[in-house]
Amino acid sequence: MKERQGSVEENREIASGYFSLIVSGDFPTSSPGQFAMVSVSDTFEPFLRRPFGIADQGNNWIRFIYKVQGRGTELLSRLKKGEVLSLITPLGKGFFMEKGRVLLVAGGTGIAPLLYLAQNFEEFVLLYGAKTKSALLREEVEKIIGKAHSLIYTTEDGSYGLKGLLTSHIPEEKFSMAYVAGPYKMMKEFSRIYSGEAQFSFEERMGCGFGVCYSCVVRVKREGKEEYVRSCKEGPVFFGKEVVWI
């Protein structure tokens, strides 16, 4: 991990309130599930960087998908091509790769790290849910879907795909691993229902992103003992069997 400058190559609204950000620059290689801390302001308002899961990376570029949620992402969404921003990347521990047929589960912006991860699997089922049709990034998803893959869309209001929460539509077949990314509540509910082995990518509120402030902790049970561990350093990906859901 290093602090590096890059310049905006693309910052495009791909769905209402959702942006694709491509930054060009010489960034160290990442693995799926890792994240970057992105500067959003030259002033101290807002003060902190914003953490984003890496959605893709290639030679001299890195990509993120973010949703405008507050002051930071709003400022970010105004950046034009050629503008400079600072990244600390890659951070955290990514997904542990499993062989065979896997289940990918994405809620909302949880889709970003899974688009990156999906490139590593020959066979997968993607279960992807959002509140409504306009929040489903279908174009992004369909780019990576091949013959050996299947795709289940869900929307809470039924405006596209299956109606209801994503967690009411979990496929019943056996997978070698489930990879889950999205809001805490969704992941908690998924872990309650799903009995197979799973890895979860957390979106805890973060301060630094590199392990010094201890803001972003997740509760885990290790060697019989419960403790808080930093999702920026020991995570953001954790195995379901060690997570203590609150």
Partner 1 sequence: MDLKVKVAGIELQNPIILASGTAGYGVELEPFMDLSKLGGISVKGLYPYPREGNPTPRIWEAPCGIINSIGLQGIGMERFAEEYLPELSKQKTAIFINACGEQDEEYFRVAEFFDPYEEVSAIELNLSCPNVREEGNCPALWPDWSYKIVKWTKQSTRKPIIAKLSPNTSSMVEVASACKEAGADALSLVNTYLAMAVDFRTRRSRLSTLFGGLSGPAIKPLSLRAVYQVASSLDIDVIGIGGITRGEDLLEFLLVGAKAVQIGSITLREPAAAIRILNEAVSLMKKEGYNSFKEITGRLNIV
Which residues would be at the binding site for partner 1 (CB under 8 A)?
1-3, 39, 44-49, 88, 204-208, 210-217, 227-228, 233, 246
CB of 210 to partner 1, least distance (A): 6
Q: Measure Cα distances from 45 to 36, 48, 74, 96 in Å.
A: 20, 8, 12, 36
CB of 70 to partner 1, least distance (A): 9
Cβ nearer to partner 1, comparing 85 with 104:
85
Q: H or E element: which one contains 189?
A: helix 184-193
CB of 47 to partner 1, least distance (A): 6
Cβ nearer to partner 1, comparing 47 with 96:
47
Q: 187-193: which pairs have CB atoms within 8 A and are 24 or more residues apart?
A: 187/107, 188/245, 189/165, 190/105, 190/166, 191/240, 191/243, 191/245, 192/245, 193/167
Cβ nearer to partner 1, comparing 10 with 242:
242
CB of 127 to partner 1, least distance (A): 27
Cβ nearer to partner 1, comparing 228 with 239:
228
Could you give the CA distance from residue 240 to residue 205 in angstroms, rounded to a whole number? 20
Strands 102-107 and 124-130: parallel
